[in-house]
Structure 1
Amino acid sequence: MSQNETFYQPENFILIGIPDLEVAEFWISIPMCLMYVLTVLGNIVMLIIILPQETFHKPMYLFLCMLSIIDLVASATTTPKNLCIFWFNDNEIAFNACLAQLFFIHSLSMMESTVLLAMAFDRYVAICHPLRYTSILTNSLIAKIGILAIIRGSLLMAPAPFLIRRLSYCRTNIIAHTYCEHMAVVKIACTDTTINQIYGLTVALLVIAVDVICISVSYSAIVRTVFRLSSKEARHKALGTCAPHICVILISYVPALFSFFTHRFGHNIPLHVHIILANLYILIPPMCNPMIYGARTKEIRKRITGIF
């Protein structure tokens, strides 16, 4: 391969880490490593608790298992490489490896969004149609939702690597980020990226916007049903079962929406602020999800106490 061809589609990209904070990267890596360890331990504990026990083979817990698996894979896709950048200055990533990382990061985020939507539907059926709960949310339907989450995330993100391959990287192969985020890779291309930008915006609207709207509709119906209950205790109990899911939704969608909008409209936000928040978006939800459900779900809390 000639030098020109190599430069057109470089063999490697260079991930520079966090611009303007290079001297602090070692200290940033310490809480990042701790968060990654907690993510791995927390989600593995959730899987160990739920999967072997038939009493936990209920829709809410099975969705929680899906969430834990997605979180484990998603965090493993980025954090080990980030730590290598911070600790060993291992900034290079192969072109194809970058595309693979990009695909998995975003497709797994879409899968997680689908599971969160399914969990909102689970709470809607449990509170608004409790007598039909077991007949609607069968194991067969839960398996189909899991398969749908995988297909949806994979198919929507599948065009991204091919659309990026058609771009020319004649100016630079340096990515101002700690991992291969879609827009961060697109921005360094020297050819027209309009199609890539339209594609990214369309996919985001098809996933985040649609899922947030559907979740909001579900919770509007839940709130109306709850406030029709005559007993204050019943209202408190019903809302209590939704609390962990609402917390998980907030910590998942708020950073994702911030990252999405700052890439496109937040030109005045310092680059290092955006990159740190993009890393927190990858780190915090996977770490917090098992903690939230472990603390707020009585059955899981009892099981954890029994183990430890």
Structure 2
Amino acid sequence: MTFTLMGIPGLEAQHLWLSLPFFSMFLAILISNGAILYMLHMEPTLHTPMYLLLALLMVADLISALALLPKLLCLFWFNDRDIAVNACFTQMFFIHGTSVVRSALLVAMAFDRYVAVCEPLRYHTVLSHSLVGRLGLMALAKGVILILPMPLLLQRLTFCHMVIPHTYCDHMAVVKLACDDTRPNRIYGLFVILLVVGLDLVLIGFSYGLILQAVIRLNSRDAICKALNTCSAHLFVILITYVPALFSSLTHRLGHNIPPHAHILLANLYLLLPSMFNPIIYGMKTKDIKIKVAKCLCGRHS
């Protein structure tokens, strides 16, 4: 039994042209994330808690892109629309699972920034490599535990339709094809969104509330600027991760007057934009990475 991916409804004739920006994003994600990961691996001075968490975030970004884009490009280029049910559920698990892992890692990075600003003298004592490893395992476990029930709950359903009006196996898009009662699936999907986005944003907000209190108490303008600069890259990443995700989720559930192709494009962009911009943001906003990049470039030209 196979599903058929429709692609972007209403824009089927433009699939070939749409493949160009998606292929460009795929290359940008592979090259930028791969380059930063290689640099973090090869440079011992960057083996610190913040950069280890950043490396885990970029691995999650790469897995998300690899789960989504190869099948999408095959659809656009070769009109390869069929996907086996088990392959569809596997793609769903990796796409949604990496989104949960990414969110959990952003919470861990918010804690890292809190310690860096509020407890700088105890930074390496509090954030040991073993703690970073445990945080990474907790993020992975959260993704597996929360997302694995989605394909398992779908396996109990009978599907009246096999055409998915999407470019990938989105959970809600597959749920809507079922003939049976899908309330458990819908309720569980909403529960995951509220738990991941809601709880994680609360924890991030709590960390930054403590950071803001600490910054307000600083008397030196230079110290305030330094503290804010310490958090700037992480704040930018939070914005490009959660704002498109929340907007896509709201339009999917409430935006009944929004054209289907807008829903699908938003759903793809909220997955791809963080993966593409995370290494760029950290590369531009993080002094240590900028220095290493400059050394690499200078070394090649010398």
TM-score bucket (shorter structure): over 0.9
CA distance in 2, matches of 1:271, 1:241: 40
Which one of the candidate residues 98, 104, 127 is aligned to 2:88?
Answer: 98
Deviations along 1:26-49, whole A, 9 cap, x unmatched? Answer: 111101100110100001111111
CA distance in 2, matches of 1:37, 1:69: 15
Contact 1:183 1:263 in 2 (8 A): no
Match of 2:122 in 1: 132
Q: Secondary structure at the match of 2:219?
A: coil
Match of 1:245 in 2: 234
Which one of the candidate residues 181, 190, 212 is aligned to 2:201?
Answer: 212
Which one of the candidate residues 239, 262, 268 is aligned to 2:257?
Answer: 268
Shift of 1:51: 1.4
CA distance in 2, matches of 1:60, 1:274: 35
Match of 2:153 in 1: 163
Contact 1:16 1:175 in 2 (8 A): yes
* Stretches (4+) displaced over 3 A: none
Deviations along 1:206-232, whole A, 9 cap, x unmatched? Answer: 111000011011111111211211111
CA distance in 1, matches of 2:132, 2:84: 37
The amino acid of 1:263's aligned partner reads H
The amino acid of 1:269's aligned partner reads I
The amino acid of 1:284's aligned partner reads L
Shift of 1:290: 0.3
CA distance in 2, matches of 1:202, 1:114: 16
Shift of 1:283: 1.3
CA distance in 2, matches of 1:15, 1:174: 6
Match of 2:36 in 1: 46
CA distance in 1, matches of 2:230, 2:21: 31
The amino acid of 1:221's aligned partner reads L
Deviations along 1:93-146, whole A, 9 cap, x unmatched? Answer: 010000000011111100000100000000011111212211110111000001
Deviations along 1:148-202, whole A, 9 cap, x unmatched? Answer: 11111001111111100111112x1000000001001001111110000000011
Match of 2:300 in 1: none
Deviations along 1:236-289, whole A, 9 cap, x unmatched? Answer: 111011111001001011111122222222222211101001111121110100
Q: TM-score, normalised by structure 2?
A: 0.97
CA distance in 2, matches of 1:24, 1:236: 47
What are the residue-to-residue correspondences of 1:199-238 with 2, within 5 Å? 199-238=188-227
CA distance in 1, matches of 2:19, 2:295: 33
Aligned residue pairs: how many?
297
The amino acid of 2:238's aligned partner reads I
Match of 1:114 in 2: 104
Q: Secondary structure at the match of 2:222?
A: helix
Which one of the candidate residues 18, 21, 31 is aligned to 2:11?
Answer: 21
Q: Secondary structure at the match of 2:3?
A: strand
Q: Secondary structure at the match of 1:51?
A: helix
Question: Identity of paired residues, percent?
Answer: 51
Q: TM-score, normalised by structure 1?
A: 0.95
Which one of the candidate residues 273, 279, 291 is aligned to 1:302?
Answer: 291
Q: Secondary structure at the match of 1:30?
A: helix
Shift of 1:87: 0.8
Contact 1:107 1:154 in 2 (8 A): yes
Cα RMSD (Å): 0.9
User: Which segments of 5 or more consecutive residues in structure 2 lack a partner in the other structure?
Assistant: 298-302
Q: Secondary structure at the match of 2:83?
A: strand
Match of 1:151 in 2: 141
The amino acid of 1:295's aligned partner reads M
CA distance in 1, matches of 2:198, 2:204: 10
Which one of the candidate residues 254, 257, 269 is aligned to 1:280?
Answer: 269
